């Protein structure tokens, strides 16, 4: 009877790590270019770029913090111009932005879950406490006993064999993702399609459910692989799949925001048909004002439809605004029949009044 050998973690060589990093950079760059139109739609939907909404801030943060962490990590790996002094200061940049990226991603999941729960106060408190506990543990486990690894004059962070705690970072991240997924499914399962025959609402529920499941499966797969590698004794190979994890977190997090934003735009276009109000104009003054109004400059601002779509048993908005403040565009059209009266202009005066000086004031 053959003896079963103990399980060994997968071997990752330096060449394999290079391929994984190049692949993650290519995927991230392709997705960035592909989502540029969506980014433009998010910017256009803001009432003012000087005061962007919460979802817009999260969208910009996850995109560009992820870009920074990917560039910092891969520059340290592929560059061969680091001295020991420079590497001793540079190696910590990627781990810091790594935690920041994950915090933004968890904020997106937290606000999404909070709105799905119809902004339940109990759910909000649970998510807030869970977020602070998990992020505190992530900062500790990711930064504790970090050491610079410099081979061939490159610079990457590692975790010493006697202090292998960095793998716990991925465990806590998976626990938070699993917790938000369970809460979201609990509230989404309470939705009864019989109470709302709208197919759009049903599609929206299905989209949120699939996005949550896809996010959890993708991130969990990468985190499990990272956990296995961080349990190995070779410090140089520990961050082998870290760059791929950055790309997956970036893509999946912004995909959730883009899908919610597009769903809100679709709802606004369906329900925001312009209202046409027509009435007859009697007074020559009203007719003159209606004619002149066609040539006056209209200053209109784009109404923000930032995740304002709401569904029964759940809310979609990531912004805490008044629910009665709806993005409604009203267009007023005036239809009139004009009859020429040669004495009308003599009876009506539209000139700016001038000061009349009496004879006593001239003295």
Tens digit of each residue's pLDDT (9 = 90 or more) over 327-342: 444 445 555 555 555 5
Strand 156-159 relative to strand 146-149: parallel, antiparallel, unpaired? antiparallel
What average pLDDT does the structure give for the chain? 75
Task: Using pLDDT thresholds of 50, 70 and 90, give the confidence band for residue 354.
Answer: low
**Range ranked top by mean pLDDT from 25-29, 43-47, 201-205, 319-323:** 25-29
> 278-296 burial string, b = 16+ CB within 10 Å, else e?
eeebeebeebbeeeeeeee
Residue 247 and residue 215 share a domain = yes
Measured at the CA of 254, the angle between CA 252 and CA 258, to 5 degrees, comes to 115
CA-based radius of gyration for the chain: 30
Give the model confidence (pLDDT) of 198-240 as tens digits.
566 677 777 888 888 888 888 888 888 878 777 765 565 666 6
Q: What does the alpha-carbon distance between residue 158 and residue 148 come to, in Å, rounded to a whole number?
A: 6
Q: What does the alpha-carbon distance between residue 287 and residue 188 come to, in Å, rounded to a whole number?
A: 54
Residue 187 and residue 137 share a domain = yes
Residue 199 and residue 139 share a domain = yes
Report which secondary-structure segment, H or E, holds 156.
Answer: strand 156-159
Q: Assess if residue 125 is contained within a domain.
A: yes
Domain limits for position 280? 274-294+324-351
Q: Using CB atoms within 10 Å of the CB of residue 355, give its burial: 0 to 12 exposed, 13 to 18 middle, 19+ buried.
A: exposed
Give the model confidence (pLDDT) of 51-81 as tens digits.
888 889 999 999 999 999 999 988 988 888 8
Q: Assess if residue 50 is contained within a domain.
A: yes
Residue 244 and residue 125 share a domain = yes
Give the model confidence (pLDDT) of 295-307 as tens digits.
554 444 444 444 4
Residue found by looking up tokens 């680091």 in the block = 82
Residue 332 and residue 251 share a domain = no
Residue 333 and residue 190 share a domain = no
What are the φ/ψ torsions at residue 117 (nearest 5 degrees)?
-80, 10
The CATH number of residue 141's host domain is: 1.20.1070
Q: What does the alpha-carbon distance between residue 140 and residue 132 come to, in Å, rounded to a whole number?
A: 12
Among 137, 141, 214, which residue's Cα sits nearest to residue 176? Answer: 137
Dihedral sign, Cα of residue 75, residue 257, residue 318, residue 137: negative
Q: What is the pLDDT of residue 151?
A: 77
Q: Assess if residue 126 is contained within a domain.
A: yes
Q: Assess if residue 319 is contained within a domain.
A: no
Contacts (Cβ under 8 Å, ≥6 apart) of 343: none
Asked if the model's pLDDT at residue 363 lies above 70, the reply is no
């Amino acid at each position: 009877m053959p003896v079963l050998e103990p399980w060994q973690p997968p071997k990752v060589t330096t060449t394999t790590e290079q391929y994984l990093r190049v692949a993650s950079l290519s995927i991230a760059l392709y997705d960035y270019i592909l989502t540029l139109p969506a980014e433009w739609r998010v910017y256009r939907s803001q009432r003012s770029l000087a005061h962007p909404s919460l979802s817009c801030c999260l969208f910009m943060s996850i995109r560009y913090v992820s870009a920074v962490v990917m560039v910092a990590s891969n520059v340290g790996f592929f560059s061969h111009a680091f001295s020991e002094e420079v590497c001793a200061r540079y190696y910590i940049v990627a781990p810091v932005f790594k935690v920041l990226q994950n915090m933004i991603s968890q904020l997106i999941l937290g606000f999404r879950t909070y709105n799905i729960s119809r902004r339940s106060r109990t759910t909000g408190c649970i998510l807030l406490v869970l977020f602070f506990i998990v992020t505190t543990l992530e900062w500790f486990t990711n930064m504790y006993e970090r050491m610079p690894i410099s081979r061939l004059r490159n610079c990457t962070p590692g975790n010493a064999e006697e202090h292998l705690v960095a793998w716990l970072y991925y465990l806590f991240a998976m626990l938070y993702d699993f917790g938000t997924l369970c809460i979201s499914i609990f509230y989404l399962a309470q939705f009864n399609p019989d109470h709302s025959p709208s197919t759009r609402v049903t599609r929206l529920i299905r989209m949120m459910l699939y996005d949550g499941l896809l996010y959890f499966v993708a991130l969990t797969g990468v985190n499990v692989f990272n956990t296995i590698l961080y349990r190995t004794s070779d410090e140089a190979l520990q961050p082998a799949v870290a760059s791929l994890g950055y790309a997956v977190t970036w893509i999946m997090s912004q995909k959730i925001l883009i899908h919610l934003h597009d769903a809100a735009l679709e709802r606004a276009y369906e329900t925001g048909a312009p209202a046409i109000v027509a009435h007859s104009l009697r007074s020559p003054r009203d007719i003159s004002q209606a004619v002149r109004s066609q040539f006056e400059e209209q200053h209109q601002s784009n109404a923000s439809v930032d995740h304002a779509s709401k569904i029964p048993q759940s809310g979609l908005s990531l912004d805490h605004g008044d629910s009665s403040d709806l993005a409604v565009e009203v267009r007023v059209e005036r239809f009139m029949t004009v009859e020429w009266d040669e004495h009308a202009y003599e009876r009506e005066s539209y000139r700016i009044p001038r000061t009349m000086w009496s004879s006593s004031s001239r003295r």
